[in-house]
Structure 1
Amino acid sequence: MAGVLSTAQAAPIAVSLGDPAGVAPELIAEAWTRRKEAGLAPFFVVGGALALGMAAASRGLSLPVRQIERAGEASDVFDEALPVLGDADCAPEFGVPDESGARLALHSLREATDLARTGSAGAVVTGPIAKARLATVGFTQPGQTEFLADACGLAHESAVMMLAGPSLRTVPLTVHEPLARVPGLVTAELILAKTRIVARALARDFGLSAPRIAITGLNPHAGEDGRMGREEIEVIAPAIARLQAEGFHVSGPHPADALFAAHERDGYDVALCMYHDQALIPIKTLDFDAGVNVTLGLPIVRTSPDHGTAFGIAGKNRASAGAMIAALRMAGDCAARRAAPLPNESPA
């Protein structure tokens, strides 16, 4: 969806290792070996030189690793070796997460985020973590999105999750909530706030000066004129009308069962969906191996592959590096736009 841009003016990308017992280290290693064909901007990993070497060996990859002391050294090293910042490390057993791995994952996430926040890194790409395991070593947030919001001094609702792939972008209005709670959480205020954040971010980071946002209904057939629910009439449609009055290019409420058909997707740039599965099922069906989780609304660029730790296949050379490569490429594109914005990319 987004073209590869020159990243000469952007600082290198910081990559957090993720859980070293999962697939992230081997996918980072493969991404580096494919850096030229994929057109990736320079990146470095925070910690985990040994873990990365073990993971590369499990895939039969030749991975030269060079430890660096400062983020700025990464660009000079990147063509010849994978830069690794610092000496934090562990020797993981693939598929078996443990406390040492969790501590390394949390250290890597904290340091990578701080480097992006202070401008030493142009973006942060986060490897998948095991949240329950991290909770035992001091991770208190529901997930990495909330961690990044806290690190940037923002309320959690100001950090908006977008899933992006080659064929589709979606945003869940409500995220990790039980389905029974969703109707009570769908409010006009939340729709207004998230749509504004999405529109500004797509302009700033994706080069879409007037993004087209399709907003789904909550109920089957978007409520069918109130016969299947009144949220569309009482909440969603009034919010859409207000956004249109403010000049945003929004439409809906759309029936979610038809919105993701191929002939419909050309009509919008992103779909704002009412709940988690409404947004994630289509993106994972269409773009599972190239889906990227992007956090909108932050003062920094953050992307992540849209998959988990995949402990069951870690170290078995079965995981696809497509989503990791896509996350790195997207981070580089967004960082380049922030470093050198174009005249037609002013926020909506």
Structure 2
Amino acid sequence: MSWLDGDDDEPDGFDAWDESDVRVRPNPKGNRPRTKVRPAHEDAVEGRVLSVDRGRYTVLVDADTPGEHTATATRARELRDQAIVTNDRVDLVGDVSGEPGTLARIVRIRPRTTLLRRSADDSDAVERVIVANADQLMIVVAAANPEPRPRLVDRYLVAAYDAGIQPLMVITKTDLADPEPFLANFAGLDIPVVRSAQGAWPVDELTPLLAGHTTVAVGHSGVGKSTLVNELVPGTDRATGVVNAVTGRGRHTSSSTVSLRVPTGGWIIDTPGVRSFGLGHVDPANVMRGFPDLAAVAEDCPRGCTHAADAPDCALDEAVERGELDPARVDSLRRLLASLARLEA
């Protein structure tokens, strides 16, 4: 009979074993109990996101101090469902020294003052945040090559006013064409306009307008936006391109959004060139904010007026008939309203 049959011939010490002697395999993810209580990170330091590249963030730490430097960071797990974008103010923990091979962690996004957004197209209500905390939008337009697009500029204006950002316009390549016919589309708007001179970039005219502001540069591919940024911030070396001689379209060159300090004061954020700027995220009721000259006239419209082309007794039509409004401006507004109205249908 063996000791397995329950006799007294067990191996020495076997009768002293119990369940507490059995070793339990540890949790491969660690034995620390899970909790929803997140650390306060009271030792976190503030930083400014300068650029985003495939899950890695270049962050400016100790800005405007002798110890100013950049650090590379990743996002904390608790922020995995939140977008972190260029010019966000964030809190960092971990190794924020910026030394090669180090990696900090973004644990908080500070409250944003503004958000410039766009959608892929007007049928897409999913917004894509371009930059945070900007207060000025610099719309760069070429007088020719590529041809200026008033409707695209209208869309920039709607997005700017919707975000509470003030616009300004820069006209490049004025040696190729007279920009005045194009600018006539926006004669009713109080927008600063800077024109490039013959063979020169308008750096001296622009720098006072940029000082003290965080400015986002946007524009159609090929208008010279990144070249202008290189002139404003020497040594930046943002990628530039040329316009296709057959299609008249510019090539996408800058592929990332980056925030740069202007030596003469302020910050400028260069964005990739686009050929479309969807407004699917914008409430149609806010579109009029992009046309303050028309909004003043529309105050005389009947209650509930849609301002569409078939709207009865619309004050916009009456102002056009009297020669007080440019029909092209009214048409631009109505195109946007019609496009956005289809989203609600």
Could you tell me the TM-score, scaled by structure 1's length?
0.32
Q: Which has the higher helix share?
A: 1
Q: Which has the higher strand share?
A: 2
